[in-house]
């Protein structure tokens, strides 16, 4: 494992490694899926399976679910542009915006949202159809090693990305079902830099500029350990504790596991990184080759047990059927994958880190998912989970092997997001399907996902990912559940904007209250 910065250059959504290989990175927009909408979940998993199947020829790929700063202050600055500050309600609008920010940050703490990214190698020194290219790149890699030893570096050609445009177009066609979006150079730099800023307060613009100045600043951070095995990152006076927790076991039946959805329901951010490798069709390191060797060992175990008339253990019988099932999938040419799945949590104190781990462990234990602390492997996991690192022959621990179909049961590229990106805060997303039995305060405490809304946002032009220009809203619920309150709240908030709103109030129950507030 190379612990030095392995990135040579970043341009647009391409990453050039020092070994000459090139990766492309894309952001995958999350599909909004209701927790109880099982039909939509199944359709979404089928779509993801089809899209990922197209990556089989690339051998390796990487999926990352990254919690990123919500930046509430910036969002409210944009909302402020739509407020009618010249009206009588200008002071009220100022009071609402400032107090909402203070209230959410004091109750929730770090505000974040999950973003999905996928990385795919366009070219590898290990596997290439162009033998001449492999020899040339191998020569360049060896020459650069010698030059670096002598303190002489080779300048990155300014036009190196041109050779990969056609390959990038082919890849984007393969990812078209996922609506993959290219990252800009700054976005690409920042998501790489974020790996060394986990859990810290930072200035995004200055961090990007630092890497523009020198690519070697990409991994600039100080790594220490407390209590022998607790990783501590320090950068520009900011400190955070980080734990890398690999998944070490999964239920035998992956159906409806929906692990990514469960992680998003937790009240604190959890980064989820997958290093995936398609099984080679043959060879000693292929998944099928490993299965055959395991089946032979299992056969010997069964034979020895029969010789002593021992009753076969249930685990042995299950293993036999699982290996036979794997062989059947291979015979049908179903894509098979091996992957390393690592969860990352951060905290400002050791006590907070421990509390998050215990809650994460309890949640996954209910799903029959085994997560381990891997105290002795923290450095390995830190560097192995860097973007553009791939699985190799030396990686043996914490690996999961299954069909691509079963892998997609993790339910990737989804969100429970409700409302709009820019708007007034009106509540929280409820992550629990069961009733709270009227204990709304407990429901609020269990959620860290605010709901923002601006009913006029859909009428605007140029709004990213907008699906309609004609918003229709229905407020439904049982008697006494707050329909009237929400209606009045929405009217109050939207009356602060640069628009005319008609509210039909035949009983005049709101008029006196509004007049009283405006006079004050």
Count of C-beta atoms within a 10 Å radius of residue 74:
11
Q: For residue 299, is it within any domain?
A: no
Of the listed ranges 146-160, 392-406, 419-433, the least confidently predicted one is 146-160
The whole-chain average pLDDT of the chain stands at 85
Rounded average pLDDT over 189-213: 96
Residue 129, pLDDT score: 35
356 and 225 part of one domain: yes
Residue 104 burial (CB < 10 Å; 0-12/13-18/19+)? Answer: middle
Q: Which residues contact 6 (CB under 8 A, 6 or more apart)?
A: 17, 18, 19, 386, 388, 389
Residue ending a domain, choose from 364, 386, 415: 415
351 and 500 part of one domain: no
Of the listed ranges 74-83, 135-144, 398-407, 468-477, the least confidently predicted one is 135-144
Total structural domains within the chain: 2
Q: For residue 384, is it within any domain?
A: yes
Q: For residue 313, is it within any domain?
A: no
pLDDT digits (tens, 9 = 90+) for 237-268: 899 999 999 999 999 899 999 999 999 999 99
Residue 330, pLDDT score: 64
**Contact predicate 119/23, CB 8 Å:** yes
430 and 466 part of one domain: yes
Q: Which residues contact 91 (CB under 8 A, 6 or more apart)?
A: none
Q: Token digits for 376?
A: 């002795």
Q: For residue 76, is it within any domain?
A: no
Q: How many CA atoms lie within 13 A of 508 on its CB side?
A: 2
Q: For residue 292, is it within any domain?
A: no
Long-range own/partner contacts, residues 353-360 (CB < 8 A, 24 or more apart): 353/230, 353/241, 353/243, 356/268, 357/243, 357/245, 359/266, 359/268, 360/245, 360/266, 360/270
Residue ending a domain, choose from 369, 395, 415: 415
pLDDT digits (tens, 9 = 90+) for 344-366: 999 999 999 999 999 999 999 99
pLDDT digits (tens, 9 = 90+) for 122-163: 964 433 334 344 444 555 555 555 555 545 556 788 889 999
Instruction: Tell me the C-alpha distance between 128 and 398, whole Å.
Output: 28
Spell out where 351-501 has E strands: 370-371, 399-403, 414-415, 424-428, 450-453
CA distances for 62 relative to 98, 123, 179, 272, 409, angstroms: 40, 15, 17, 11, 16
156 and 231 part of one domain: yes
Q: For residue 321, is it within any domain?
A: no
370 and 482 part of one domain: no
363 and 456 part of one domain: no
Instruction: Tell me the C-alpha distance between 171 and 176, whole Å.
Output: 9
Of the listed ranges 229-233, 293-297, 498-502, 509-513, the least confidently predicted one is 293-297
**Contact predicate 193/235, CB 8 Å:** no
Residue 256, pLDDT score: 94
39 and 171 part of one domain: yes
426 and 404 part of one domain: no
23 and 158 part of one domain: yes
353 and 424 part of one domain: no
Q: For residue 152, is it within any domain?
A: yes
Residue ending a domain, choose from 415, 434, 460: 415
Instruction: Tell me the C-alpha distance between 422 and 79, whole Å.
Output: 6
Q: For residue 265, is it within any domain?
A: yes
Residue 149, pLDDT score: 55
206 and 168 part of one domain: yes
Residue 287, pLDDT score: 59
The residue range of the domain holding 203 is 7-70+111-283+328-415
Residue 392, pLDDT score: 92
457 and 373 part of one domain: no
- Strand-pair category, 22-28 with 230-235: unpaired
Helix segments in 408-499, DSSP class H: 440-445, 483-494
pTM for the full model?
0.86
CA distances for 502 relative to 278, 491, 494, 499, angstroms: 59, 9, 11, 10
Task: For CA atoms 184, 185, 191, 197, give the dihedral sign.
Answer: negative
Look-up of token digits 């800009």:
184
């Amino acid at each position: 494992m190379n612990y030095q910065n392995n990135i040579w250059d970043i341009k647009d959504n391409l990453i050039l490694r020092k070994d000459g290989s090139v990766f492309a990175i894309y952001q995958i927009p999350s599909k909004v899926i209701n927790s109880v909408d099982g039909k939509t979940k199944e359709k979404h998993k089928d779509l993801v399976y089809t899209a990922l199947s197209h990556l089989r020829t690339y051998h390796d790929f990487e999926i990352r679910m990254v919690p990123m700063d919500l930046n509430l202050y910036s969002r409210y600055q944009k909302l402020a542009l739509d407020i009618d500050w010249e009206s009588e309600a200008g002071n009220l609008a100022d009071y609402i915006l400032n107090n909402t920010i203070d209230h959410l940050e004091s109750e929730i703490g770090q505000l974040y949202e999950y973003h999905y990214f996928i990385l795919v190698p366009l070219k590898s020194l290990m596997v290439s159809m162009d033998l001449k290219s492999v020899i040339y790149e191998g020569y360049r890699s060896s020459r650069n090693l010698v030059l670096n030893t002598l303190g002489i570096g080779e300048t990155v050609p300014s036009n190196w990305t041109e050779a990969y445009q056609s390959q990038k177009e082919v890849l984007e066609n393969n990812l078209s079902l996922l609506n993959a979006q290219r990252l800009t150079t700054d976005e690409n730099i920042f998501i790489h830099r974020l790996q060394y800023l986990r859990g810290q307060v930072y200035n995004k613009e200055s961090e990007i500029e630092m890497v523009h100045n020198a690519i070697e600043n990409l991994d600039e951070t100080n790594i220490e350990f407390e209590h022998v095995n607790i990783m501590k990152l320090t950068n520009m006076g900011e400190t955070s504790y980080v734990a890398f927790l690999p998944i070490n076991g999964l239920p035998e039946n992956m159906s409806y596991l929906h692990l990514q959805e469960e992680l998003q329901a937790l009240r604190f951010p959890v980064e989820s990184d997958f290093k995936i490798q398609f099984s080679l069709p043959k060879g000693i390191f292929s998944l099928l080759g490993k299965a055959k060797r395991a089946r032979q060992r299992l056969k010997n175990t069964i034979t020895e047990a029969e010789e002593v008339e021992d009753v076969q253990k249930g685990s042995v019988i299950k293993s036999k059927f699982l290996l036979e099932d794997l062989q059947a999938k291979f015979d049908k040419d179903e894509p098979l994958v091996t992957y390393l799945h690592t969860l990352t949590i951060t905290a400002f104190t050791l006590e907070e880190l421990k509390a998050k781990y215990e809650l994460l462990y309890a949640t996954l234990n209910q799903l029959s998912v085994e997560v381990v602390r891997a105290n002795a492997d923290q450095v390995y996991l830190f560097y192995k989970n860097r973007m553009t690192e791939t699985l190799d022959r030396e990686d043996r621990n914490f690996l999961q092997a299954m069909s691509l179909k079963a892998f997609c049961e993790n339910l990737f590229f989804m969100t429970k997001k409700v409302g709009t990106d820019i708007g007034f805060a009106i509540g929280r997303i409820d992550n629990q399907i069961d009733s709270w039995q009227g204990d709304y305060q407990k429901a609020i405490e269990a959620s860290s996902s605010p709901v923002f809304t601006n009913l006029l946002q859909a009428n605007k032009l140029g709004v990213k990912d907008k699906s309609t220009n004609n918003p229709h809203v229905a407020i439904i619920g049982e008697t006494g559940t707050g329909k009237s309150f929400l209606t009045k709240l929405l009217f109050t908030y939207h009356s602060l904007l640069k628009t005319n709103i008609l509210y039909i109030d035949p009983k005049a129950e709101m008029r006196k209250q509004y007049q009283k507030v405006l006079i004050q």
